Chain A
Amino acid sequence: MAGHAEDADIIVAKNVNKWYGEFHALKNVSLTVKRREVVVIIGPSGSGKSTFIRTINRLEEHQSGDIVVDGIPLTRDVRNIEAIRMETGMVFQQFNLFPHLTVMQNITLAPIHVRKMKKQEAEARAMQLLERVGIPEQAHKYPGQLSGGQQQRVAIARALAMQPKIMLFDEPTSALDPEMIREVLEVMEELAESGMTMVVVTHEMGFAKGVADRIVFMDSGEIVEIGAPAHFFTNPQHDRTKLFLQQILK
């Protein structure tokens, strides 16, 4: 059951289907992500992007198909789910920081209680991460005292503190004021350069072009097209992709 370090594919999703009641939200979605790869998922609102990346760490349960993360099959078994969640960090559109805890406590809570790390070690590592995301001076403030951009950087540090192998981002800059988007994207770019495996849902086409190894285009619960950024943006194959790109790249 342990992860195979040699295995190049860290996320394997095969024919994943998901329904909300009668509504077919994911239709036979298959995607393989390699180690150290950055995959950007784009698509119109309601196309199932969030639903898909949330099935990877079981925030949503899929009804059929297989998902294997770092060699661990995603089943109903709580041990598998917890193992996969330890390997994957997630960053949300709304940050979802814990408002009753300081920045430092937000970052160290899971390492201490889930990874059973010593408090001192967890705090030392948290300071390193805060320096990495550029806000070491905010360690003892509460999330409510930070700007949106700062909060999202804390959220990234919080996820990284669990030393995940994979980072999932669900529209990390969509709730930010324009002048703060840059600071968050810079942190993500640095993370990608450091070799982190990333799956990113975003509307930031600059980031997609500059950082992604592959772009995945989703529409109505299906993957429509996958391609390297160079080809994807200049030479999209499917009509639906062309239409979407026309709309957003005007």
Chain B
Amino acid sequence: MTTDIRSTSWVNTNHPAPAQKPPATEVGVLGWLRTNLFSGIGNSLLTVVTLVALYFIVTNVVRWLLGAFWEPIWVNRKLFAVGQYPLEQLWQPAIVLLMVSLLFGLSAGRWGNIMRNLGIGLGALLLALALIPIGLQAQMVMAASLALLVIGYFIGVRVAISSRWLALAWVLSLPATFVILLGGVNLPTLGVTWNFAPLVESNLWGGLMLTMLLAVVGIALSFPIGVLLALGRRSNLPVVKVFCVGYIELIRGVPLITLLFMGMTMLPLFLPSTWGNPSQLVRAMTAITLFSAAYLAENVRGGLQAIPKGQYEAADALGFSGFDKLRFIILPQALTKVIPAIVGQFIGLFKDTSLASLVGLLELVAVGKAVIQQPAWMGVTGGVAKEVYIFIALVFFIFSFGMSFASRKLESKLGFGKR
């Protein structure tokens, strides 16, 4: 029914009209192909060229992969996982894995969202490692971790655990990890030495475990510093403001590798001499934390800027003090807004920790270099560098892609129950 546009009044007697199906060409496989790949000559040509190129690349890669020599990686799987950590004490990293799996499970059940996505990723990884014959004990640890992850999830869903306690557990898990891996506490300067197992000095920690530890510590410790820097940058006190802006810009203007080298050579100059000689690991972590804090501050600043003026005014009108206003109203909103950015920053940091291999830490890349040099592979023509680096790249990719995928749908979900 068409509108008679010449008359001044008109009634649509057909209303409501039934909905109709879209034209056939826009739906189905053919419709999809037509609109997406073959709309016009230029697009069709591009599609064909891309497909041909893809064919040659994939066949060549597959041929190389099938003929490649994967033994160095398989033989050194323990080295890639935990470095030179003593074999007979591997139950200590195992406990850390169990603890983290449980926490992930509980958080996935309690908080859902990105935690659930990350939990699913971790679960898939644990399942794969439990099934691949990497060694009976290791497989059992993986299976037990998976079980804790699942159990934790159901507990988290059913039981209303206090978010505050769960967050506190996460915070405490970090020092706990250090104590468990070290086998005790060893702070001679404070007069504290206690151990439940032979001490495993941090220069023996390595592989993926060390890579993870560097990235997690970097983000976790830089978080409070970054928040303070972001707040300081908005301060009315010129001294505070100048210090924060100066710090942020200085650090962001310097590559991480120079900070790592400075940490190695200069850190003792800034510490009281009674503190002795910090380990390589502590030096690297200090550099990474100070580096990460500057970027975190900028992310948090973005979140703070996104809070409308009305939120401050409502808080003021209700009589909140400046501190309570930040604590209850501004920061919770600002920080939730920047979670995706912080996840992105974590992924970047996770990859950047490979630079620590240049200052003597045996993380994933350094383990790779060591494996390539092993005498066992001297006779292999062309060496084993290709396989080793592809494997390392794959490990980085799996974790980075998994994390970025987990946080992808986050932004829309954080709309606080939008209608």
Contact A85 B317 (CB under 8 A): yes
Give chain B's interface residue range (CB within 8 Å of chain A).
Answer: 20 to 34
Considering only CB atoms, which chain B residue lies closest to A85 in the complex?
B319
With A92-B310, A145-B417 in contact, is A114–B336 under 8 Å at CB? Answer: no
- Asked if A110 and B320 make an inter-chain contact with CB atoms under 8 angstroms apart, the answer reads yes
In whole Å, how far is B385's beta carbon from the nearest beta carbon of chain A?
51
Q: Mark B288-319, 1 if CB is under 8 A from A, else 0.
A: 00000000000000000000101101101111
Does residue B158 face the partner (Cβ distance < 8 Å to A)?
A: no
Residue A57 interfacial (CB < 8 Å): yes
Given A59-B316, A90-B317, A110-B318, A98 contacting B418 (CB threshold 8 A)? no
Whether a CB of chain A sits under 8 angstroms from the CB of B74 is no
Q: Are B333 and A99 in contact (CB under 8 A)?
A: yes
Partner of B328, one of A58, A86, A109, A141: A109
- Complex alpha-carbon distance, A86 and B319, angstroms: 6
Closest to A114 in B: B319
- Tell me the dominant secondary structure on chain B's binding face: helix
| Inter-chain contacts of A86 with B (CB < 8 A) | 319
Interfacial chain B residues near A96, Cβ < 8 Å = 308, 310-311, 313-314
User: Nearest CB to that of B333 among chain A residues?
Assistant: A100
CA distance A186 to B393 in the complex (A): 66
The 8 A CB mask of B408-419 against A (1 = contact, 0 = none) is: 000000011111
With most chain A CB atoms within 10 A of its CB, the pick from B314, B316, B333, B417 is: B314
Given contacts A86-B319, A92-B310, contact A98 B329 (CB under 8 A): yes
Q: In angstroms, how far is the closest chain A Cβ from the Cβ of B197?
A: 44
| A85–B318 alpha-carbon span in the complex (Å) | 6
Contact between B317 and A99, CB atoms less than 8 A apart: no
Cβ-closest chain A residue relative to B320 = A114
User: If A142-B416, A144-B419 touch, does A92 touch B314 (CB 8 Å cutoff)?
Assistant: yes
Taking the complex as formed, is B332 at the interface, i.e. its CB lies under 8 A from any CB of chain A? yes
Query: Complex formed: what's the CA distance from A122 to B269 in Å?
Result: 54
Q: B313 — nearest CB in chain A belongs to which residue?
A: A59
Hey, which chain B residues are within 8 Å of A85, CB to CB?
316-319
Contacts of B332-354 to chain A: CB distance below 8 A: 332-333, 336
B71 interface residue per 8 A CB criterion: no
Residue B324, interface by CB 8 Å: yes
A92→B313 contact, CB < 8 A: yes
Q: Is B321 an interface residue (CB 8 A)?
A: yes
Residues of B within 8 A of A94 (CB): 308, 310
Q: Which residues of A contact B415 (CB under 8 A)?
A: 144
A214 contacts chain B at the CB level, 8 A cutoff: no
Residues of chain B lying within 8 A (CB to CB) of residue A18: none
What 0/1 pattern do residues 38 to 78 of B give for CB contact below 8 A with A?
00000000000000000000000000000000000000000
A158 partner residues in chain B, CB cutoff 8 A: 318
Contact A145–B317 (Cβ < 8 Å): no
Q: Tell me which residues across on chain B come within 8 A of A92, comparing CB atoms.
A: 310, 313-314
B318 nearest CB neighbor, chain A only: A110
- Is residue A149 contacting chain B, with contact meaning CB distance below 8 A? no
- State the Cβ distance, A225 to closest chain B Cβ, in Å: 28
Write the chain A residue with the least CB distance to B332. Answer: A100
- Cβ–Cβ < 8 Å partners of B416 in chain A: 99-100, 142-144
Residue A238, interface by CB 8 Å:
no
Chain A residues, Cβ within 8 Å of B332: 100
- For B379-419 the 0/1 string (1 means CB < 8 A from A) is 00000000000000000000000000000000000011111
Tell whether A89 is near chain B: CB-to-CB under 8 Å: yes
Q: Is the CB of B328 within 8 A of A113?
A: yes
Complex interface: chain B residues within 8 A of A59 (CB): 313, 316-317
A100 and B314 CA atoms in complex are apart in Å by: 14
A189 within 8 A of B: no
A98/B311 in contact, CB under 8 A: yes
From residue B125, how far is it (CB to closest CB) to chain A in Å? 32
CB pair B317–A57 under 8 Å, yes or no, is yes
Contact of B324 among A99, A114, A143 (CB under 8 A): A114
Q: Are A145 and B419 in contact (CB under 8 A)?
A: yes
Q: In the complex, what's the smallest C-beta–C-beta distance from A166 to chain B, in angstroms?
A: 11
A188 CB to nearest chain B CB (Å)? 17
Nearest-CB distance from A44 to chain B (Å)? 23
Q: How far is the CB of A199 from chain B (nearest CB, A)?
A: 13
Contact digits for B263-303, partner A, Cβ 8 Å, 1 yes 0 no: 00000000000000000000000000000000000000000
Residues of B near A159 (CB, < 8 A) are 317-318
**Interface positions of A from 103 to 155, Cβ below 8 Å from B:** 109-110, 113-114, 141-145
Contacts of A49-66 to chain B: CB distance below 8 A = 57-59
Q: Please indicate the chain B residues that have their CB under 8 angstroms from the CB of A100 in the complex.
A: 332-333, 336, 416
Which chain B residues lie closer than 8 Å to A89 at the CB level? 317-318
Q: Are A88 and B317 in contact (CB under 8 A)?
A: yes
Chain A residues with Cβ below 8 Å from B319 are 82, 85-86, 110, 114, 162
A5, B324: Cα distance in complex, Å:
30
Q: Is the CB of B417 within 8 A of A141?
A: yes
In this complex, which of A57, A82, A99, A159 has the most chain B Cβ atoms within 10 angstroms of its Cβ? Answer: A99
Would you list 18 pairs from A and B whose C-beta atoms are within 8 A, ordered by A residue?
A: A86-B319, A89-B317, A90-B313, A92-B310, A92-B313, A94-B308, A96-B310, A96-B313, A98-B314, A98-B333, A110-B318, A110-B320, A113-B328, A114-B319, A143-B416, A144-B415, A144-B418, A159-B317
Shortest 9 CB-CB distances between A and B: which pairs?
A96-B314, A96-B310, A90-B317, A110-B318, A85-B319, A142-B417, A144-B418, A114-B319, A86-B319
